Amino acid sequence: MGGDLIGVSMLWAMLIPAGGALVISQLGRWPNLRETVTLVTAGALFVDVMWIADLFSRNGGGGLTLWEIFPGLGLTFTVEPLGLIFALIASGLWIVTSIYAIGYMRAHREVNQTRFYVCFAIALSSAMGVAFAGNMLTLFIFYEVLTLSTYPLVTHAGDDKAKAGGRTYLGILLFTSIVFLLTAVVWTWAVAGTLDFTAGGVLDGKASPGVAAALLVLYVFGVGKAAVMPFHRWLPAAMVAPAPVSALLHAVAVVKAGVFTVLKVAVYIFGIDFLAGVASGRWLMYIAAATVLIASLVAMRQDNLKRRLAYSTISQLSYIVLAAMLATPLAVVGGAMHIAMHAFGKITLFFCAGAIDVALHKKNISDMGGIGRAMPFTMGAFLIASLSIIGLPPLGGLWSKWYIALGALQADEVAMVAVLMISSLLNVAYLLPIPVRAFFGKPANGEAITGLKEAPLPSVLAICFSALGCAFLFFFPEPLYRLAQAILAN
């Protein structure tokens, strides 16, 4: 009985935002009502996902097949811990982002706000689809829908810059997913005869070593959303989008959908035991490590705050890819936890970037001297989130890095531990100067900063909330850890 109930609730997780989108699209003339509906939808979604989590913890997994698209291969949804983590993070942070967006979008006087909220809801709906996908085909379908539904958000401004950004965004994401990922999916289907996510993987004993190696490469590069170099360019390009989009989608939903897919493939398609023996895994791990370092280095040279954060995201995402390629239990736990930890940290940072833009119209770091006095809450939150990303206590980021490092030791990859450490140092180098400059630096061009000049109240509230989340996760990582461990216990 639990299975059925859980199946229906999963369906609701997709239907609620989709229905919300439908309602929102009709409310363009009443902004207040529209935003209320958005919030209610977000809240309802979160409650639904919590409900699923509760059912899952009591009754175990469940599944639902809507219908078969190909004989024996349907649109299937199942609950498992990894997807649950992703769904909880995305739906929970949607509420925060919606609050933030209300302040931001109005203060910024954005056009086409209705379209914005509609696409946002659709994107969330497809993110839920990715989270609960029961087989690779379902995941692929929602992965693509997610790409397309975020395109209007990226090109929201409608100017040439947005158009160019949108092209890069769509070009890279569609290129990788269609050419690599789809090939991999069909190939897996041809080889294994199933695409269901199965504990222990489906390829073991069916794919020859060469095929498995090729498949792994196709999967890792095919998931362009994981932004493994050299397919990372879309992420900085997507920064032309409004801040809420960058915050929720390009720090949480979209990119996490990418690394989530990589983890999912590693655990449920290959199975980590089989994956450990795949020849190309090691090389991909090196590429991920290189991405971690190179992206950090590039981030240091960015003056535009959002771009710097984008490169930071690229670097952090590759932590998770690296964890997946390590193919040890602890690394997988660390990778799964990092999805959550990084989400809270990075969304805060993007919120702050947006808030600075709205309040002070500053986009470049070099102009941000002394702004801490005008925006103490924002910059305080920025500091907290930075520390979390770096991985310092007492903030959540510590745990995930800790487990990934342990996983690396488990796999006897000492070099990877070194990579993690160097990367943390680089994080310090590119993140901390910003709050330092804000609090202690001199204002640029001699302009005087007097008095408090924060972003609108809803935005500040959201910022504070997500920053506190980072701290909260340090003290109470237990539920998250248990979910992450359950991934392999399946």
Partner 1 sequence: MIASVHFPVLQIVLPLLLAPVCVLLRGARLAWFTALTASWAAFGIAVALLLDVLAGGPISYAVGGWNAPWGIELRVDAANAFVLTIVAGIGAVVMIFARESVEHEIGNARAYLFYATYLLCLAGLLGVTITGDAFNLFVFLEISSLSSYVLISLGKDRRALYAAYQYLILGTIGATFYLIGVGLLYQVTGTLNMLDLAQRLEGQEGLRGVRVAFAFLTVGISLKLALFPLHFWLPNAYAYAPSAVTGFMAATATKVSIYVLLRVFFTIFGVEFSFGQMPLGEILMFLAVAAMFAASTVAIFQNNIKRMLAYSSVAQIGYIVLGIGMASVTGVQAGVLHLFNHALIKGGLFLAMGCIVYRIGSTHIDDLAGLGKRMPWTAAAFVAGGLGLIGIPLTAGFISKWYLVLAALEKGWWWIAVLILLSSLLAVVYVWKVVEQMYLKPAGEGAGRTEAPLGLLVPTWILIIASIWFGIDTRLSAGAALEAAKTLLGAG
Q: Write out the residues near partner 1 by the rule CB under 8 A.
A: 67-71, 140-141, 144-145, 148, 152, 155, 158, 162-163, 166-167, 170-171, 174-175, 178-179, 182-183, 186-187, 189-190
Taking the CA atoms of the chain, what radius of gyration do you get in angstroms? 21
d(CA 301, CA 426): 12
Q: Which is nearer to partner 1, 140 or 403 (CB)?
A: 140
The nearest distance, CB 161 to partner 1, in angstroms, is 11
Q: Which is nearer to partner 1, 170 or 289 (CB)?
A: 170
The nearest distance, CB 256 to partner 1, in angstroms, is 20
Could you tell me which residues are beta bridge partners of residue 77? 64, 133
Could you tell me which residues are beta bridge partners of residue 304? 364
Q: In angstroms, what CA-CA distances link 305 with 9, 118, 161, 382, 433?
A: 39, 27, 17, 12, 12
| Omega before residue 394 within 30° of 0, cis | yes
Say if residues 388 and 431 touch (Cβ distance below 8 Å): no
The nearest distance, CB 183 to partner 1, in angstroms, is 6
The nearest distance, CB 265 to partner 1, in angstroms, is 17
Question: HEC string of 359-419?
Answer: HHCCCEHHHCCCHHHCCHHHHHHHHHHHHHHHCCCCCCHHHHHHHHHHHHHHCCCHHHHHH
SS3 content of the chain, % helix, strand, coil (to 5): 80, 5, 20
The nearest distance, CB 336 to partner 1, in angstroms, is 26
Amino acid identity at 79:
V
The nearest distance, CB 184 to partner 1, in angstroms, is 10
Q: Which is nearer to partner 1, 171 or 441 (CB)?
A: 171
Say if residues 152 and 119 touch (Cβ distance below 8 Å): yes
The nearest distance, CB 331 to partner 1, in angstroms, is 30
Q: 22: phi > 0 → left, psi -120 to 50 → alpha, else beta; which?
A: alpha
Q: In angstroms, what CA-CA distances link 385 with 53, 261, 364?
A: 27, 25, 19
Q: Which is nearer to partner 1, 100 or 180 (CB)?
A: 180
The nearest distance, CB 248 to partner 1, in angstroms, is 22
The nearest distance, CB 182 to partner 1, in angstroms, is 6
Q: Which is nearer to partner 1, 157 or 428 (CB)?
A: 157
Say if residues 235 and 250 touch (Cβ distance below 8 Å): yes
Q: Which is nearer to partner 1, 92 or 134 (CB)?
A: 134
Q: Which is nearer to partner 1, 157 or 297 (CB)?
A: 157
**End-to-end CA distance of the chain, in Å?**
20
The nearest distance, CB 317 to partner 1, in angstroms, is 23
Q: Which is nearer to partner 1, 187 or 481 (CB)?
A: 187
d(CA 201, CA 275): 9
* DSSP 8-state assignment for residue 135: B
Q: Which is nearer to partner 1, 33 or 69 (CB)?
A: 69
The nearest distance, CB 66 to partner 1, in angstroms, is 9
The nearest distance, CB 162 to partner 1, in angstroms, is 7
Q: Which is nearer to partner 1, 71 or 205 (CB)?
A: 71
* Residue in 346, 267, 270, 338 with CA at minimum distance from that of residue 312: 346
The nearest distance, CB 65 to partner 1, in angstroms, is 13
**Three-state DSSP class for 67?**
strand
Q: Which is nearer to partner 1, 166 or 271 (CB)?
A: 166
Q: Which is nearer to partner 1, 144 or 204 (CB)?
A: 144
Q: Which is nearer to partner 1, 69 or 452 (CB)?
A: 69
Maximum CA extent, the chain: 69
d(CA 322, CA 154): 28
d(CA 321, CA 315): 10
For 7, the token pair is 């199946």
d(CA 370, CA 214): 52
Q: In angstroms, what CA-CA distances link 462 with 50, 67, 93, 150, 356?
A: 20, 40, 9, 22, 14
